[in-house]
A and B are shown apart, each in its own frame.
Chain A
């Protein structure tokens, strides 16, 4: 390479005066960076965090936005394909009643999956959500025989919040793996649910208006859809536009860097698991209003289903980012497949086969799409 070659050309990438602030921490200030054609750069800063911040600003300046849009659209494209196919092959799928029921089923799982996406973005996950869902459903059903719906719902939400916070305390303060804590709590809470009901089912007889949470309609759309939409909006704002959400993503992306940047790891961890507990409780309340009769055997396998929906929606288990809108699309996708298989009267064990094959097929297509997006991005730059 000629010695003065770089001086002759104008830089192909110029970044001047980059500043990046976390609350309480000034990460970067007035950083200038010029990249000339043919140059190879290694970024070395006084600490790893600063160079990480420069690099992340660099990549952000490029194409991440485009990729993010493509990512969230990915499951949506699959969803459109599946809905179209289902409407053609399954007569009775594309009717108002069936679409409403599918949307209700999707909303119940989506709410918990949205909380799970938040936890996965932080680099953790929660295996206790199935047990929390059934316990809160039992709590709300039992409370409805003594108090009105608002207090019963409050009681269930507080139960979920308390369990979630407790999970978070064990994980952060005792530095225990999230797998062990939430796996242990899954067993404990299932036991508590069996103990309070003594293995019997609890029926909701008073306050029939509680059922409106499931079968009520606003502008022809079911109420559960609006509950899910509200949770989606709140969590999206929390994840993208608050320090709390950015800290959660920072912990998932690079824990060591987050610690050095001054993120209060313990507090964020406890809050995120509290959030997951609340979403599981909301799912439990929705489930109770849907069934009106609950018992302690409900919700088994719900934890793996919620994680599947998050991953299918484009959130990587390695942490660092969460795709909330993708999670919603993935929940609707799974509910659509289940509904279509039911309408086609596929025998239950063939449904397992179809669900398994479709999951793998969907993800294989998704991987191919990502490879395509990455390639086209490379050729553009």
Chain B
């Protein structure tokens, strides 16, 4: 009887430690789960299928870009040009759609993203320009090309029933962009954690000098990572354009900082060398849940800026305080 009680006590205790460890490792995931459960419990509109679908849809635009960006940040660089790249892809889709049809336009857009991404990589690695300035300069260039293409910040239509269904359609109740986001994360997870190239990315991010000395083709590895970011951004552009049925040069203003914030909130350090795709995935959902909650709770437009920033900081602040407690 007594021994059974002790055993019971010890399992109880180890379960507690296990739970604490789980919460530490999956902090942002637990936070997301708790917020969704609370919001769903207090607000009937939040738990409606339509709203949940909308959250998944909104999460996928930043989420798809963040999948590629995670790989690039792991390699120790980042790309600020994505907003311009997305705008340029969007306006080109509008032009190409009547000529090529939905299927070919889709691939043309992705191809354009990969080519422009590679160009980013070549400028950063071969001209040895800091990624910050090179990609900011290229963002200006892409924006300008999109402006010139549309003759200013004009909104151009994207109207093709098949193409638009990419943004508005759903399979098994899940929006197609969200399914694409899952595919993008599975693909990037395979690349980062299950391939030689992923190991190279982490090596380059941990120490570029060491990777170079070990004989790794550092420039090629980085260029490939930039190309992946370009491809992911173009994919996000396809879905955003398809959902809005329109495109403009400035359709993704601020996208670069949002995408990097999603990655950092997920737990990936900007210093490079390591990263978590599961974290970025959750980070994208977290952003979408916050903005949906603020809209549903009728928070006034100006207050939404304050609330979004405050949530962001306090979400990570709680994590920091909690890790103090765990250490003690």
Q: Which residues of A are in contact with B by a Cβ distance under 8 Å? A: 127, 170, 174-177, 179-181, 183-192, 194-195, 198-199, 304, 307-308, 311-312, 316-317, 348-353, 355-360, 363-364, 367, 371
Q: Are B140 and A355 touching (Cβ within 8 A)?
A: yes
Q: Are B305 and A353 touching (Cβ within 8 A)?
A: no
Q: Which of B277-328 contact A (CB under 8 A)?
A: 301-310, 312-313, 316-317, 320-321
Q: Which of A127, A351, A363 contacts B134 (CB 8 A)?
A: A363
Q: Are A187 and B129 touching (Cβ within 8 A)?
A: no
Name the residue on A nearest B151 (C-beta).
Answer: A349
Task: Report the Cα distance A350→B139, complex, angstroms.
Answer: 13
Task: Report the Cα distance A178→B2, complex, angstroms.
Answer: 53
Task: Report the Cα distance A199→B307, complex, angstroms.
Answer: 17
List the one stretch of B52-60, B182-190, B194-202, B262-270 in contact with chain A. B262-270
Total A-B contacts with CB atoms under 8 angstroms apart: 136
Name the residue on B nearest A354 (C-beta).
Answer: B144
Q: Are B305 and A352 touching (Cβ within 8 A)?
A: no
Q: Are B129 and A180 touching (Cβ within 8 A)?
A: no
Name the residue on B nearest A181 (C-beta).
Answer: B313
B217 CB–A CB distance under 8 Å: no
Q: Are A127 and B257 touching (Cβ within 8 A)?
A: yes
Q: Which of B260, B303, B313 contacts A184 (CB 8 A)?
A: B313
Determine the chain B residues whose CB is within 8 A of the CB of A353 once the complex forms: 140-141, 144-145, 148
Q: Which of A180, A312, A316, A348 contacts B316 (CB 8 A)?
A: A180
Q: Which of B130-160 contact A (CB under 8 A)?
A: 130, 132-134, 136-141, 143-145, 147-148, 152
> Which of B261, B269, B304 gathers the greatest number of chain A CB atoms within 10 Å?
B261
**How far, in Å, is B157 (CB) from chain A's closest CB?**
20
**How far, in Å, is B127 (CB) from chain A's closest CB?**
5
Determine the chain B residues whose CB is within 8 A of the CB of A184 once the complex forms: 308-310, 312-313
A127-B257, A191-B306 given; A317·B320 CB < 8 A: no
Q: Are A176 and B317 touching (Cβ within 8 A)?
A: yes
Determine the chain A residues whose CB is within 8 A of the CB of B320 once the complex forms: 174-176
Name the residue on A nearest B321 (C-beta).
Answer: A174
Q: Are B305 and A349 touching (Cβ within 8 A)?
A: no
Task: Report the Cα distance A312→B306, complex, angstroms.
Answer: 32
Q: Which of B123, B144, B270 contacts A352 (CB 8 A)?
A: B144
Task: Report the Cα distance A281→B75, complex, angstroms.
Answer: 36
Determine the chain B residues whose CB is within 8 A of the CB of A195 once the complex forms: 302-303, 306
